[in-house]
Every structure is written in structure tokens, then in C-alpha cells.
């Protein structure tokens, strides 16, 4: 009888494993809400993303957890706000070892886990960072492999969107070294990688997926593109499509279209391998577009106020679509509010794993949204960056840009462009929301100081 019970439970486990979807998390770098066709963009060609939207769900109110890249990326993997794990801004801190990550959790279920593209959650060498000695590589060494990924082909930070190893396309100065850009499982890739950076990344991601499918293993694949972050360099053939536009615009539009082409390649690969129907694919940007005003930055925040680095809508409301054939209604759109911190609880809900209970999780499961429930979000969303703070509860958004010296309140349902401050009309709302925000910030501070970690583990930091 005992053997029969064990056999039965094993069969149940195998059946559950067979139903677990593959997962691909795609992310652009500094892409604006208004840059994509599925949000009404008219200039940049994004046919693959538009096709993905036609077969999946577009999120009209999807937020990056931060208005800059590094903090947002950590939220995708932990379900937590960046101020809980010490990544307050780009090139600040690192993803701490005691954090519980998606690749670690899914890896325990037998998933093959791979990271491809921009990492930006720690240095990839303990001796070197292209950002210079000020990045303190020995203190901030954290690779994708150390965070739970089986395989990784990654860069520490953004590299040029075309011919990244060409010295003329280098990012920044100081100790930046174009020979030390991509790293593969801890080894520096010295052979120059040529052409479109999105293709360079996808050239490694596709074989990883193919190998997992051949081995009949579910896969969790994170593909974080470099486009359209500076250095913005468009390939010649892609630039020709935008020849009527100014040269800086050609480069920006070209690298977005090149990225979109690789997303189409990924979707075709999934179909050719026969796993598209059992694969959940997400796409978003890590923050809004860089502030317009110089040659490289021509991205559009759409109708929203602000750009990258700000907590106005244009800085954190990002283009987003999620595709899961058979599970998400094709061509659907949702007004439900979501944030990158929702990835972890959503995926754990799907694979029937409990959310970690020993620490605060800021995200919530979106599974009911996938099923067509367009109800208001059950939990508020907090944001903080530099001197800015936000508490978003339903359509109401409380914001300060000067450490609380002045508070503004907006009704995003009626005023998504944040033109009319209604704080003076609703002092009781401002008071209640400010108190809730202060409580949440205190919780983040407790986490940041290591309060969520076992006493034997140090929180780390710079």
C-alpha cells in the first residue's frame, strides 16, 4: 500500500510538472510607453510586439518598480521594492545574496534557468567594473549565477545597441573596456560580438531554450535587451527604414525595430519547437524614456508627464504585454494596475508554490487579471527614488518630488496626464495616504537593514 501511495504521489507530481508553463521575461531598456504600435505609436515599426499584443493581453497601467533600470530589474526577480534590498538607483548596491529569487524557486521545481542580456544588479567580476573603482566591484560582486541562474550570457550594464565591441561605440569613459562587456557563466567573452546587440543576446537565448525543450525540462528565461538605452546605434539596414527622419531619430527607431525583430524570432522559435501554447511570455520596459533634449533621446512617454528618473507617469508607466495562449484571451486589454514586482507572486501562483512568508512581498498575483478580472488592484503601490515618493491607491496618486515638503494628489482615472493637483480639495486623503506611505517606507527601511534575513546572513551593500 505504501508503495502504491508513493507511486500515486509521484504521478501527481509529474502531472503537475507537465502542466507548468515555460516562462520568458522580456524587457527593453528605456523604451517609452508611446514608442510601440500596440499603444498607438505611429513611427517605430514594432510588428512582433503588435502581434504579441493581438494574441495576448495589453496592460494599460503597468509600472516599473523604479524610474531607472537597476532597481526595477531586482523587483522582477524578488517581488520586492528595490529599497528593501539596497538597489536604490542605477549602479548602486547589488542584489543581496539572502534575497529569494525566481530562478532559485523555479530551479527547485526542475526548471532550466537562464539569463541573457543586461544584468545591472551587481558586478560580473570581483576585480573589475567598467564603471570604475567607484563601483566597488569587490563589494558589489553579484552575477546571475550567484542569483540562481543555471546559464547566463550577460553584461554588467548597457552596451551599444550595434557593434558594442567597437571602441567608437563605447559607453562612458574612465575604466570602461570594450573587451570586457559580455560574460558567459563567469568567463569574459573577449571575442568581439558584432551587429545588433538584441541578436547577439538572442543567439544565446534560443539554443538554451532548444536544449531545455529537447531535455523535456520547463524553462525560465530572462532576456533583458539593451535597446534603446544609450549608446543608441542603429544598424545600417534598419536605419534605411527611417531615412526620412533626422539621424539621431534613425538610430533610435532602428534599434527598437531590430529588437522587435528578435522578439519575432523568439516567438517563431517557440512555435517551431511546439511549446508556444505552454509558454508565458511577458514584455515591458524597465522605466520610461530618457529625457528628451539631446541627440540620442527621442523616445515618447505618450500622453504622460515626465521621463526616466521621475516618478511622474512618464517615468514609470511602461509599455507591457503578456502572452499565454489558451490562458489569456487573445487581443484583450486591461486597465488593472500592475507593477514589475508582481512577476514573482504571479508565477508562484501559477506553479502552485507559496510566496515566501518570512519577508514582505510588495507584488501581488495577476492570475485573476489573466482570467479576465478587471477589478481594481487589491493593494496600493509605493514608489521611492531620490527625493521622490509616491503612494498609488486605485486611481489616486499621491506624489512628492522634494522629500515631502509639498504633496500633490492626482486622480489618474480622470487625469492620467497629471495636470490637475487636487490635494487642496482632499486633505483627508492626503493625510491618510501619507501615513500609509510612511508605514510602508518604515517597512522598507527595516528590510534594507537586514531585518528580513536570517541572523547568520549579512545584508551586504556597498
The 3-state DSSP composition of the chain as helix, strand, coil percent (nearest 5) reads: 35, 20, 50
**First-to-final CA distance of the chain:** 57
Segments of the chain assigned to CATH 3.40.720.10: 20-370
CATH number of 381-448: 3.30.1120.10
Count the neighbouring beta carbons within 10 Å of the beta carbon of residue 371. 10
Question: So what's the pLDDT on residue 297?
Answer: 81
Give CA–CA dist 396/415, Å, rounded.
10
Segments of the chain assigned to CATH 3.30.1120.10: 381-448
Predicted TM-score (pTM) of the model is 0.94
Q: Which of 193, 78, 189, 76 is nearest to 124 (CA)?
A: 189
Tell me if the bond preceding 231 is cis, omega within 30° of 0. yes
Question: So what's the pLDDT on residue 421?
Answer: 98
Question: So what's the pLDDT on residue 295?
Answer: 63
CATH class of 20-370: alpha beta
> Catalytic residue numbers?
69, 120
Give CA–CA dist 461/455, Å, rounded.
16
Contact 276, 56 (CB under 8 A): no
Count the neighbouring beta carbons within 10 Å of the beta carbon of residue 216. 9
Q: Which residues of the chain have pLDDT under 50?
A: 1-18, 456, 460-462
Contact 45, 320 (CB under 8 A): no
Amino acid at each position: 500500500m505504501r508503495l502504491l501511495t508513493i507511486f500515486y504521489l509521484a504521478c501527481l507530481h509529474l502531472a503537475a510538472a507537465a502542466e507548468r508553463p515555460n516562462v520568458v521575461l522580456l524587457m527593453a531598456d528605456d523604451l517609452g510607453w508611446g514608442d510601440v504600435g500596440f499603444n498607438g505609436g505611429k513611427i517605430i515599426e514594432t510588428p512582433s510586439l503588435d502581434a504579441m499584443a493581438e494574441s495576448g493581453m495589453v496592460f494599460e497601467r503597468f509600472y516599473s518598480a523604479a524610474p531607472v533600470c537597476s532597481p526595477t530589474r531586482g523587483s522582477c526577480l524578488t517581488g520586492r521594492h528595490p529599497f528593501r534590498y539596497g538597489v536604490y538607483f542605477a549602479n548602486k548596491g547589488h542584489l543581496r545574496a539572502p534575497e529569494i529569487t525566481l530562478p532559485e524557486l523555479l530551479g527547485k521545481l526542475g526548471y532550466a534557468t537562464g539569463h541573457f542580456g543586461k544584468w545591472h544588479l551587481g558586478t560580473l567580476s570581483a576585480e573589475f567594473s567598467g564603471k570604475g573603482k567607484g563601483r566597488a566591484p569587490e563589494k558589489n560582486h553579484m552575477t546571475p549565477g550567484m542569483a540562481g541562474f543555471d546559464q547566463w550570457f550577460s553584461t554588467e550594464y548597457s552596451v551599444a545597441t550595434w557593434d558594442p565591441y567597437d571602441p567608437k561605440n563605447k559607453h562612458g569613459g574612465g575604466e570602461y573596456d570594450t573587451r570586457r562587456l559580455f560574460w558567459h557563466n563567469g568567463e569574459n567573452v573577449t571575442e568581439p560580438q558584432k551587429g545588433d546587440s538584441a541578436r547577439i543576446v538572442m543567439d544565446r537565448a534560443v539554443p538554451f531554450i532548444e536544449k531545455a525543450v529537447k531535455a523535456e525540462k520547463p524553462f525560465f528565461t530572462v532576456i533583458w535587451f539593451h535597446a534603446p538605452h544609450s549608446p543608441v546605434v542603429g544598424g545600417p539596414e534598419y536605419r534605411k527604414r527611417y531615412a526620412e527622419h533626422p539621424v539621431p531619430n534613425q538610430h533610435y527607431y532602428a534599434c527598437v525595430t531590430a529588437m522587435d525583430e528578435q522578439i519575432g524570432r523568439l516567438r517563431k522559435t517557440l512555435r517551431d519547437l511546439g511549446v508556444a501554447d505552454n509558454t508565458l511570455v511577458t514584455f515591458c520596459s524597465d522605466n520610461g524614456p530618457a529625457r528628451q533634449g539631446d541627440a540620442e533621446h527621442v523616445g515618447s512617454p505618450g500622453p504622460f508627464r515626465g521621463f526616466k528618473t521621475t516618478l511622474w507617469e512618464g517615468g514609470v508607466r511602461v509599455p507591457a504585454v503578456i502572452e499565454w495562449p489558451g490562458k489569456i484571451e487573445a487581443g484583450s486589454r486591461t486597465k488593472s494596475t500592475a507593477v514589475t514586482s508582481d512577476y514573482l507572486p504571479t508565477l508562484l501562483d501559477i506553479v502552485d508554490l507559496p510566496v515566501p512568508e518570512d519577508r514582505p512581498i510588495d507584488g501581488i498575483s495577476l492570475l485573476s487579471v489573466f482570467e479576465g478580472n478587471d477589478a481594481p488592484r487589491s493593494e496600493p503601490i509605493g514608489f521611492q527614488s531620490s527625493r521622490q515618493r509616491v503612494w498609488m491607491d486605485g486611481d489616486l496618486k499621491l506624489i512628492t518630488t522634494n522629500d515631502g515638503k509639498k504633496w500633490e494628489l492626482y486622480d489618474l482615472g480622470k487625469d492620467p496626464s497629471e495636470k490637475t493637483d487636487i490635494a487642496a480639495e482632499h486633505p483627508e486623503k492626503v493625510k491618510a495616504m501619507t501615513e500609509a506611505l510612511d508605514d510602508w517606507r518604515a517597512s522598507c527601511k527595516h528590510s534594507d537593514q537586514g531585518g528580513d534575513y536570517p541572523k547568520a546572513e549579512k545584508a551586504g551593500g556597498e
